[in-house]
Amino acid sequence: MFKDIIVGVTPTGVDQCAVRAAIEFARKFEAKLYLVHVAGMGQGWGSIEHLGASGETEKLRERILDMYGELIEGVPDTQLSVVAGIPHNELLRLARSRNADLIVMGPHTREYEEKRSKMWGMAGSTLERVSQKARCPVMVVHRDVTCKEPLFENILVATDFSQQSECAVHYGGQMARQYKAQLTVMHVLDPEVPVADSVGAAKDKLVHVYGERLDGIDTCLFESCEGTPSMEILRTARQESSDLIIMAHHSREKDPEKAFLGSTVTQVALNAQSPTMSVNRHFDLRCGLMYDQTGAAVQVEAPA
C-alpha cells in the first residue's frame, strides 16, 4: 500500500514511536524508507550553509544511525540523510522529489517551536506546516503502533464538508475497502460557530453527501454531535476503538499563540490513542487493487 515512506527524525529520540512505526510499515509493505533529519535549528540563517563543511551534519548522521541502526537492518531499501535547512521545507522537498505516499512524523514541543518562531519569524509548528502543504497523507504518531493483521479495523474520518475534507473522506473510504474495516464518518457542530444545522440535520447531510460514494464498505456509520471539535473527535475515537483517525488540515490561524496550541488536527494527533492521518489533497492508495466511488474494484498501476 505504501511504497515510499518518509519519516522525520531527530537525535533527541522524541520521535522514536514515529520512527518505529515507519520502519514497521516499510517492512510490511516492502517500501522504500527515507529517514531525514533537518539540521539548523540550533544555529541561525548565517550558519546553516556551513553545517556540511564543518562536518556537523555527518556527526548528527552517526548519532542517529547509532540510535536506529539495528531497527533499520531489516529494511533493505533505506536511506538516512541529514540536511541543513528549514525542517518543513526540506521534508516537503524530499516528499515531492521521491513521490512519497506517506510522511510519518512524531510530536513536537512548544519550546522548540517558540525558539524557531523567534529565530525565523514563523508561528506554528513544523508538524502544522508539513500537514498543511504535503501532497501525500501525513501520519502523526506519538505512541507505539502495533503492526497487526489487518493493519486497520476501525477507521474514523472527521469532516466539515470542506473541499479538503472531501479528500479525507475519499481516502478513508479507500482505506476501509482495502482493509475491510469499519468506517465512521463524523461531523462536529462547533457551538461557537453559528450554523443553521441541527445535529440531526447534520447527520442527514452526511448520509446525503457521502452515503452513495461509500457504498461497498461492509460497515459504514455516520455520526454527528455538538461540542469542541478536537474533544468530540477524541471521544468518538475512544468509543469506536478507532485504530486510525483521518482528518483534513486546512487551518489558516495567524495568531501566534493559537498557532502554538495547534489546529484541531494537531490537537487530536497529539492526544489520540491511535495514529492520526492528515489528508488535504486527492490521493489514491498505491496498492494495485483500488475501488472507485461506487465501490467497484478497478486495477491501478503504481507510479514508477
Span 240-281, pLDDT tens digits: 999 999 999 865 544 544 444 467 888 898 889 999 999 988
Query: Looking at the domain assignment, is residue 15 inside a domain?
Result: yes
3-class SS shares of the chain: helix, strand, coil, % to 5 = 40, 20, 40
Domain termination residue (choose one: 140, 169, 192): 140
CATH code of the domain covering residue 274: 3.40.50.620
Query: Looking at the domain assignment, is residue 211 inside a domain?
Result: yes
Q: Please tell me the predicted confidence (pLDDT) of residue 233.
A: 96
Kindly state the cell numbers that stand for 114: 517558540
Structural domain total, the chain: 2
Same domain as 162, residue 281: yes
CB 253 within 8 A of CB 259: yes
What are the backbone angles phi and psi of residue 152, rounded to the nearest 5°? Answer: -130, 135
Domain assignment of residue 134, given as a range: 4-140
Please name the residue that has the C-alpha cell 535549528. Answer: 41
Same domain as 31, residue 124: yes
Q: Please tell me the predicted confidence (pLDDT) of residue 56.
A: 75
Query: Looking at the domain assignment, is residue 37 inside a domain?
Result: yes
Q: Are strands 32-39 and 78-84 parallel, antiparallel or unpaired?
A: parallel
Same domain as 188, residue 120: no
Same domain as 107, residue 64: yes
Same domain as 232, residue 117: no
Which residues in the chain land under pLDDT 70?
40-54, 108-124, 193-197, 250-262, 286-304
Same domain as 165, residue 119: no
Picking from 194, 190, 125, 197, the residue whose alpha carbon sits closest to that of residue 158 is 190
Same domain as 178, residue 112: no
Query: Looking at the domain assignment, is residue 304 inside a domain?
Result: no
Same domain as 162, residue 121: no
Same domain as 120, residue 226: no
